Structure 1
Amino acid sequence: MLTESRTKPPAGRRRPRIVGAALALLVAALPVTAAHAAPGAEAAAPQTLPALTDWTAGQGTYTFGDRTRLVADDIASRRVARTLAGDLRAAGHGTVPVTDGPARTGDIVVDVAPGREPLGTEGYELRAGQRLEITGAAETGAFYGTRTLLQLLARGDTIPAGRTVDVPRYPERGVGVCACYVHISTDWLENLVRDMAYRKLNQLLLEIKVKSDRHPEANTWGYYTKGEIRRLVALGEKYHVTIVPEINSPGHMDPWIENRPDLQLVDTDGKAQPSRLDVTKPEAFAYYKSLVDEYADVFPARWWHMGADEYMLGSDFAKYPHVLEYAREKYGPDATPQDAFIDFVNRVEAYARSKGKALRIWNDGLTGANTVPVAPGTTVEHWLNVKVRPSTLIAQGHPVMNAAYSLYLVRGGFHTNTRKLYDEQWDPRSFEGEKLTSSKGITGAKISLWPDNGRGETENEVARATAPALAHIAQVTWGAAHPDADYGAFTARAAAAGTAPGLRDLTRVPVADGTYTLADRAGRTPARTVRVARTPDGYATLTDSASGTCLETRSGKLTLNVPLQPGSAATWETCDPENTLQRWQLTRAPGGLTLTNAITRMTLDAGPDGGLAQYPPDQETPTTWTLTQN
Structure 2
Amino acid sequence: MTSTDLIPAPSGIECRADSPGRFALDGDTRLDARPGTEGVARWLRSALGAATGLPLADGEGPRSILLRVSADVERELGPEGYRLSTDGSVEDVAVVIEGGSTAGVFWGAQTLRQLLGPDAHRRAPIGPAGQDRDVPMVTIEDSPRFRWRGLMLDVARHFLPKDDVLRYLDLLAAHKLNVFHFHLTDDQGWRIEIKRFPRLTEAGAWRSRTKWGHGASELWEEKPHGGHYTQDDIREIVAYAAERHISVVPEIDIPGHSQAAIAAYPELGNTDVIDTTSLSTWDTWGVSPNVLAPTDNTLRFYEGVFEEVLDLFPAATSPFVHIGGDECLKDQWKQSPAAQARIKELGLADEDELQSWFIRHFDGWLTARGRRLIGWDEILEGGLAPGAAVSSWRGYAGGIAAARAGHDVVMCPEQQVYFDHRQAPGDDEPMPIGYVRTLEDVYRFEPVPPELAGTPAAAHVLGTQANVWTEVMQDRSRVDYQVFPRLAAFAEVAWSALPAPAERDFADFDRRMAAHYRRLDALGVDYRPPGGPLPWQQRPGVLGRPIEGAPPIV
Tell me the TM-score normalized by structure 2.
0.74
Q: Distance in 2 between matches of 1:272 and 1:343?
A: 26
| Aligned residues with identical type, % of pairs | 25
The reply to whether residue 70 of structure 1 matches residue 31 of structure 2 is yes
Instruction: Indicate if the aligned counterparts of 1:303 and 1:358 stay in contact, CA closer than 8 A.
Output: yes
1:292 aligned partner = 306
After superposition, the Cα gap between the structure-2 partners of 1:309 and 1:399, relative to the gap in structure 1 and judged at 3 Å, is same
User: Deviation at 1:285?
Assistant: 0.7
Distance 2:460 2:525 in 1: 39
Q: Show CA shifts across 1:321-373 (max 9, x none).
A: 643542342236xx332111111111111212223221110003424xx2xx3
* Structure 1 CA distance for aligned equivalents of residues 260 and 81 of structure 2: 40
For 1:502 and 1:247, how far apart are their aligned partners in 2? 35
Partner of 1:426: 445
Residue in structure 2 matching 1:170, options 132, 146, 151: 146
Q: Is the 8 A contact 2:442 2:490 kept in 1?
A: no
1:243 CA displacement:
1.6
State the one-letter code of the partner of 2:38.
R
What 5-or-longer segments of structure 2 have no aligned partner?
A: 89-93, 120-132, 185-190, 207-225, 280-287, 422-430, 528-534, 544-554
Report the Cα offset of residue 448 of structure 1.
Answer: 0.9
Measure, in 1, the Cα distance between the counterparts of 2:50 and 2:454.
Answer: 43
> Which residue does the alignment assign to 2:130?
none
1:374 aligns with 2:368: no
- Judging by fraction of residues, say which structure has more helix: 2
- Alignment partners' CA distance in 1, 2:136 and 2:498: 25
Equivalent residue letter for 1:284:
T
Q: Secondary structure at the match of 1:375?
A: coil
2:40/2:106 contact within 8 Å kept: yes
Whole-Å separation in 2 of the counterparts to 1:316 and 1:487: 49
Matched, 1:446 2:457: no
The answer to whether the 8 A contact 2:154-2:182 is kept is yes
Higher relative contact order (CA 8 A, sep 6+): 2
| Structure 1 residues 465 and 278: CA distance shift in structure 2, 3 A | closer
Give the 5 Å matches for 1:544-583. Answer: none
Unaligned runs of 5+ in 1: 1-25, 31-44, 508-534, 539-575, 581-630
The code of the aligned residue for 1:95 comes to P
CA change 1:427–1:93 in 2 (3 A) is farther
Task: Say if 1:325 and 1:215 are closer, same or farther in 2 by CA, change over 3 A.
Answer: same
Aligned partner of 2:213 in structure 1 is none
SS in 1 for 2:323: strand
Per-residue deviation, 1:248: 0.7
- 1:576-603 CA-partner distances (Å, limit 9, x unpaired): 99789xxxxxxxxxxxxxxxxxxxxxxx
Letter in 2 for 1:206: F
Tell me the CA shift for residue 129 of structure 1: 1.2
Structure 1 match to 2:321 = 304
Question: 2:339 matched to 1:323?
Answer: yes
Q: How far does the alpha carbon of each residue in 1:163-218 deviate from its partner, in whole angstroms, 9 at most, with x for none?
A: 22211110000000111132112222111100110110001101112123211222
CA distance in 2, matches of 1:272, 1:331: 31
| SS of the residue 1:258 aligns to | helix
1:255 counterpart = 2:215? no
Residue type at the aligned position of 1:394: A
CA distance, structure 2, for counterparts of residue 536 and residue 449 of structure 1 = 21
> Is the CA contact 2:9–2:496 (under 8 Å) kept in the aligned structure 1?
yes
Instruction: Name which of 491, 494, 497 aligns with 1:477.
Output: 494
- Equivalent residues, number: 458
CA-based RMSD of the aligned residues comes to 3.3
| Aligned counterpart in structure 2 of residue 241 of structure 1, from 243, 246, 264 | 246
Distance 1:194-1:495 versus aligned 2 partners, 3 A rule? farther
Q: Which amino acid aligns with 1:380?
A: V
Aligned pairs (5 A) from 1:480-559: 480-481=497-498, 486-487=505-506, 489-497=508-516, 498-499=518-519, 503=523, 536=536
CA deviations 1:296-333 (Å, max 9, x no partner) are 232222211101100117x485434643542342236x
Alignment of 1:48-447 (within 5 A): 48-58=6-16, 59-60=18-19, 62-74=23-35, 76-99=36-59, 101=60, 103-104=61-62, 106-114=63-71, 116-118=73-75, 119-130=77-88, 131-154=94-117, 157-208=133-184, 209-219=191-201, 220-221=205-206, 222=226, 223-265=228-270, 276-300=290-314, 301-312=318-329, 315=331, 318-320=334-336, 322-331=338-347, 335-367=349-381, 370=382, 373-385=383-395, 389-406=398-415, 407-410=417-420, 412=431, 413-414=433-434, 417-422=437-442, 425-430=444-449, 436=453, 439-447=458-466
Shift of 1:63: 2.9
The match for 2:283 is none
Match of 2:123 in 1: none
Shift in Å, 1:421:
1.7
* Larger radius of gyration between Structure 1 and Structure 2: 1
Aligned equivalents of 1:437, 1:190: Cα separation in 2: 38
Aligned to 1:523: none
